[in-house]
Amino acid sequence: MITYEECLEMCDLSDEEIDAIAEHEHVEPIIAVALGKYLVEHDGSNQIKQYILDDIEVARSQGNTEKMALLTKTLCHFVSTHPECCHAANQAQVA
């Protein structure tokens, strides 16, 4: 049987990024791993970035500064390891 950690290693996302997807989509982490892997492999990095941004906004509206800081760090890591999410957004604005 394959473990959660093994699935996580195969999806090219951090544990915090998976947590953000799971929180946004209201699914278990293992489902978020599958969704995240699919999105990364099918030009959906911008969608993951938006999930994290949405989660930051929820934390802000709840006054949860600790969660905002964690999610902001998660967003910075995601953008640095998946720069294509920024290129897709820039191309959409040009069009």
Query: What is the pLDDT at residue 1?
Result: 87
CA distances from 37 to 12, 56, 63, 78, 91 (A): 7, 21, 31, 13, 23
Domain range spanning residue 90? Answer: 4-94
Reported as a single tens digit per residue, the pLDDT across 41-57 is: 999 999 999 999 999 99
- According to DSSP, residue 28 is labeled -
Reported as a single tens digit per residue, the pLDDT across 70-86 is: 999 999 999 999 988 87
When divided into structural domains, the chain yields a total of 1
Answer whether residue 58 shows pLDDT above 90: yes
